């Protein structure tokens, strides 16, 4: 008799996005003439750049002749791409070996899968609020207890509160944590950890023999050059941190799919042998995954050319101008807005002590604009609201104008 993995039953119902859809649908039925405008989605909208398209076409064409055809590629990903990545990190004075890079189909799969190389009795710490994958992947694997609806928390998970007082970047936990997830620039709060803040986590992890899973998916949105773009800018991080990144937000690869993880040879935890974690991740990936598409890797190679990087940063700049437009608009209304300066998310404080969902309803009723209730990312997001800078400029401008013209405070 087969039995299910009953950890799936612990998952708090995928409540956020279906509930947004339900409330939007009700509103549309009651107000068929009002235009719905979305500022809620973390998905790219602008076309791929010319250089990336050339790379993708080259990848396709290579498959057309016997001489250039390729089947399964290098296990860890195209070695040319891993060399390019190592070179790219050198720009930040970070020395990594191409063999420490693992090419994948994205940062979401890697951030969900990485926990599988660690023991089930590790204590997991997450930022609160957080990108849901870190929590859900550990629930499914059995590293948590039941979900407690009153607190909106899972038993056995350590929540590191992110709030106005700490600028939405927590301090290392006082309790003992073994696996710590950090995301900077942060989705949903838009906060970015400073070098000193990352150092405090690296110090903690080295002392405790803990591991940091560092999601740097928005690193290219950092405009302030003093802020770290990779955790390996902090000395000693290669001993305690795995970094995950992707081209999704950097180069519009959300639908194309390409990411990478860095598992340094120097990484060690309590019971690991030298270089063991890197070979375990290699084993995990070569068992469950057969590599990113060769066409897509060819496109990724084009991102890491001078012209490709220039075009990608223009793409990022486009979304960051959207972020400034949103932030300025919200502030002109007297709302308190965080983020949006080194990240494509604006983290709005709901006015008049409204809850996240109360503000969602108010914004929808008064303006027809949809955002994302902060509480959907964890109990620490209650009273906040996420606005996303991904969208066509004209849609962003129209949504902001609708809000500034119609929202009553």
What does the binding site for ligand PLP look like in residue numbers (CB under 6 A)?
42, 106-108, 111, 131, 183, 187, 215, 217, 246, 248-249, 254, 259
Minimum distance of ligand PLP from residue 134's CB (angstroms): 9
What's the rounded Cα separation, in Å, for the pair 148 and 10?
A: 10
Closest residue to bound ligand PLP by CB: 106
Q: How many other C-beta atoms are found inside a 10 Å radius of the C-beta of residue 217?
A: 24
Looking at the Cβ atoms of 42 and 308, the one nearer to ligand PLP is 42
Looking at the Cβ atoms of 183 and 350, the one nearer to ligand PLP is 183
What's the rounded Cα separation, in Å, for the pair 322 and 316?
A: 10
Minimum distance of ligand PLP from residue 227's CB (angstroms): 17
Looking at the Cβ atoms of 187 and 268, the one nearer to ligand PLP is 187
Contacts of 187 (CB under 8 A, 6+ apart): 42, 131, 217, 218, 343, 345
Looking at the Cβ atoms of 130 and 364, the one nearer to ligand PLP is 130
Minimum distance of ligand PLP from residue 246's CB (angstroms): 3
Minimum distance of ligand PLP from residue 397's CB (angstroms): 24
List, in sequence order, every residue forming a beta bridge with 262; answer none if it has no partner. 101, 243
Looking at the Cβ atoms of 335 and 387, the one nearer to ligand PLP is 387
Minimum distance of ligand PLP from residue 66's CB (angstroms): 33
Minimum distance of ligand PLP from residue 386's CB (angstroms): 11
Looking at the Cβ atoms of 113 and 356, the one nearer to ligand PLP is 113
């Amino acid at each position: 008799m087969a039995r299910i993995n009953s950890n799936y039953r612990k998952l708090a119902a995928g409540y956020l996005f279906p509930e947004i859809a339900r409330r939007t649908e009700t509103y549309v039925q009651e107000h068929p003439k009002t235009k719905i405008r979305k500022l809620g989605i973390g998905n790219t909208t602008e076309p791929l750049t010319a250089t990336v398209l050339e790379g993708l076409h080259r990848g396709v064409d290579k498959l057309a002749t016997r001489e250039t055809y390729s089947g399964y590629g290098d296990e860890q990903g195209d070695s040319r791409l891993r060399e390019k990545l190592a070179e790219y990190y050198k720009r930040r004075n970070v020395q990594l070996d191409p063999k420490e890079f693992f090419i994948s189909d994205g940062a979401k799969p890697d951030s969900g899968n990485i926990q599988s190389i660690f023991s089930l009795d590790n204590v997991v710490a997450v930022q609160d609020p957080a990108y849901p994958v870190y929590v859900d992947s550990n629930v499914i694997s059995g590293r948590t207890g039941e979900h407690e609806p009153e607190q909106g928390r899972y038993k056995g998970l350590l929540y590191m509160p992110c709030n106005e007082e700490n600028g939405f970047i927590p301090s290392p936990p006082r309790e003992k944590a073994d696996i710590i997830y950090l995301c900077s620039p942060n989705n949903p709060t838009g906060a970015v950890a400073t070098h000193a803040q990352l150092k405090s986590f690296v110090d903690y992890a080295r002392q405790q023999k803990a591991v940091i899973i560092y999601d740097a998916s928005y690193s290219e949105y950092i405009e302030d050059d003093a802020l770290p773009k990779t955790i390996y800018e902090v000395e000693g991080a290669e001993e305690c941190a795995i970094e995950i990144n992707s081209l999704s937000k950097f180069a519009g690869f959300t639908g194309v799919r390409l990411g990478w993880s860095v598992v340094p040879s120097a990484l060690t935890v309590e019971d690991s042998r030298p270089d063991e974690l890197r070979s375990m991740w290699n084993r995990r990936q070569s068992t469950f995954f057969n590599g990113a598409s060769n066409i897509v890797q060819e496109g990724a190679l084009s991102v890491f050319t001078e012209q490709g990087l220039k075009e990608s940063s223009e793409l990022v700049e486009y979304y960051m101008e959207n972020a400034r437009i949103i932030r300025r608009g919200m502030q002109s209304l007297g709302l308190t807005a965080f983020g949006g300066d080194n990240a494509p998310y604006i983290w709005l404080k709901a006015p008049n002590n409204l809850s996240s969902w109360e503000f969602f309803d108010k914004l929808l009723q008064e303006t027809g604009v949809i955002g994302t209730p902060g509480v959907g990312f964890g109990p620490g997001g209650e009273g906040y609201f996420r606005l996303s800078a991904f969208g066509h400029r004209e849609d962003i401008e129209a949504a902001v104008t609708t809000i500034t013209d119609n929202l009553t405070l």
